[in-house]
Amino acid sequence: MELSDRDLALVSAIGDGLPLVERPYLAIGEAVGMSEIEVIARIQAMKEAGIIRRFGIIVRHHELGFRANAMSVWDIPDDKVSEIGRRLGDSPEVTLCYRRPRRLPDWPYNLFCMVHGRDRPGVEQAIKDLIQRHGLDGHGHAVLFSTRRFKQTGARYGRRKAAE
Amino acid sequence: MDDIDRRIINTFQGGFPIAERPFAAAARTLGLDEAELIARVKALSEAGTISRFGPMWHAEKMGGGLTLTAMKVPEDRFDEVAAIVNSFPEVAHNYAREHALNMWFVVATERPERIREVLDEIEARTGLAVHDMPKIEEFFVGLRFEA
């Protein structure tokens, strides 16, 4: 799906979330010069095309009580990383899971999983369970707890076009 | 936050109606009325529990760039470097983590080529190396939280 300039204006308008009113798509349409029906159709099309992964409530996980988050990383041989990544990604403890490049010598790890929990011991236990269940004991591993969050705005799109 | 708030959060992280009266349709699935659902979502937003009610974008399908980067920042320069990094609107979030690479941030741009420009500018302004670690393969991006 190719996004038109009209789509980008809509992308920008909904980026901060829907207005909390009875007919939010009508309100958005008024802001960008579209009918309510067009707004609904275009958002649905973007969702079906996968441009919108999910449309709903985005929480602040820290405020929701998920005070501990760890980036749990492994050094997995390249010919095994996809299979292990898929298995870890299917695990309920894991909230995000990606393969990324190593940056030697500072960074030897190529598999990244985020694990969120209410407290640090809970997250540590969840990671131990993952290691045991998936037989990851022999692989290089590090756990990077976050100690401070400086910024959490989410990605913003559509502003460039909207501003032109 | 009570049980109804928790049900609102758990139910609508997965999706929300895209229809003329979405709050009315959503409220029915929880046995609430439209006005009550709107009022509760407003209260959760004001309390900071909900960041927004809207889209989670797929950066690449948007035609944009997205990467995770890490820096090794001397402890006595941490706040100064964080201020420089966070001043870029393309930096979506930024966390201090326990490792020699102690600052980790996500850069999201509307054009893929802008990623390199942002990282170069951060390197120039801080005098520190930025390790670029874009995803090679994606296994899971659920990122849902049970209230």
Q: Mean per-residue pLDDT for B61-66?
A: 89
Question: Minimal CA–CA distance to A109: which of A67, A140, A84?
Answer: A140
Q: Mean per-residue pLDDT for A89-98?
A: 91
Contact at CB, B95 and A149, closer than 8 angstroms? yes
Q: Which domains does chain A have, with CATH numbers?
A: 5-58 (1.10.10), 68-145 (3.30.70.3460)
Q: Which amino acid is at B39?
A: A
Percent of chain A with pLDDT over 90: 76
pLDDT (0 to 100) of residue A156: 73
Token pair of B45 as six digits: 């937003």
Of B57, B104, B108, Cβ closest to residue A53:
B57
Contact at CB, B58 and A148, closer than 8 angstroms? no
Angle at which helix B34-46 crosses helix B22-30, to 10 degrees, equals 100
Of A44, A65, A151, Cβ closest to residue B18:
A44
Distance from CA of A53 to the nearest CA of B (A): 6
The Cα–Cα gap between A129 and A95 comes to 15
Q: Mean per-residue pLDDT for A75-95?
A: 94
pLDDT (0 to 100) of residue A152: 67
Strands A94-99 and A111-117: antiparallel
Identify the sign of the CA torsion A111, A112, A116, A122: positive
Percent of chain B with pLDDT over 90: 81
pLDDT (0 to 100) of residue A163: 38
Closest alpha carbon within chain B to A148: B96
Identify the sign of the CA torsion A126, A92, B16, A16: positive
Distance from CA of B30 to the nearest CA of A (A): 15
Token pair of B77 as six digits: 């320069």
Closest alpha carbon within chain A to B135: A100
pLDDT (0 to 100) of residue B130: 98
Q: Which domains does chain B have, with CATH numbers?
A: 3-46 (no CATH), 65-133 (3.30.70.3460)
The Cα–Cα gap between B79 and B102 comes to 12
Residue carrying the six token digits 């509760």 = B40
The Cα–Cα gap between A65 and A33 comes to 40
Q: Rg of the Cα trace of chain B? A: 20
Q: Mean per-residue pLDDT for A23-44?
A: 97
pLDDT (0 to 100) of residue A161: 45
- What is the three-class DSSP state of A98? strand
pLDDT (0 to 100) of residue A164: 35
Per-residue pLDDT band at A159 (split at 50, 70, 90): low
Token pair of B4 as six digits: 């109804």
Helix (H) / strand (E) containing A141: strand A140-152
Contact at CB, A151 and B18, closer than 8 angstroms? no
Identify the sign of the CA torsion A125, A126, A129, A135: negative
pLDDT(A92) > 60: yes
pLDDT(A162) > 70: no
Q: Mean per-residue pLDDT for A13-33?
A: 95
> pTM for the full model?
0.84
pLDDT (0 to 100) of residue B141: 78
More confident residue, A160 or A90: A90
- Here the ipTM equals 0.83
By the 8 A CB rule, do A39 and B19 touch? Answer: no
Instruction: Please tell me which of B15-19, B90-94, B101-105 the model is most confident about, judged by mean pLDDT.
Output: B101-105
Neighbour tally for A103: CB within 10 Å: 17
Percent of chain A with pLDDT over 70: 93
The Cα–Cα gap between A40 and B1 comes to 31
Closest alpha carbon within chain A to B50: A59
Neighbour tally for A57: CB within 10 Å: 27
The Cα–Cα gap between B81 and B61 comes to 31
pLDDT (0 to 100) of residue A94: 93
Contact at CB, B51 and A52, closer than 8 angstroms? no
Q: Mean per-residue pLDDT for A116-132?
A: 96
pLDDT(A76) > 50: yes
Residue carrying the six token digits 């928790």 = B6
The Cα–Cα gap between B35 and B57 comes to 28
The Cα–Cα gap between B145 and B13 comes to 8
Q: Mean per-residue pLDDT for B53-74?
A: 92
Distance from CA of A132 to the nearest CA of B (A): 20
Mean pLDDT of all residues belonging to chain B: 93
Distance from CA of A40 to the nearest CA of B (A): 6
Contact at CB, B131 and A3, closer than 8 angstroms? no
By the 8 A CB rule, do A143 and A99 touch? Answer: no
| Best mutation target, A57, A88, A156, to test chain B (most B CBs within 10 A) | A57
Q: Mean per-residue pLDDT for A60-83?
A: 93
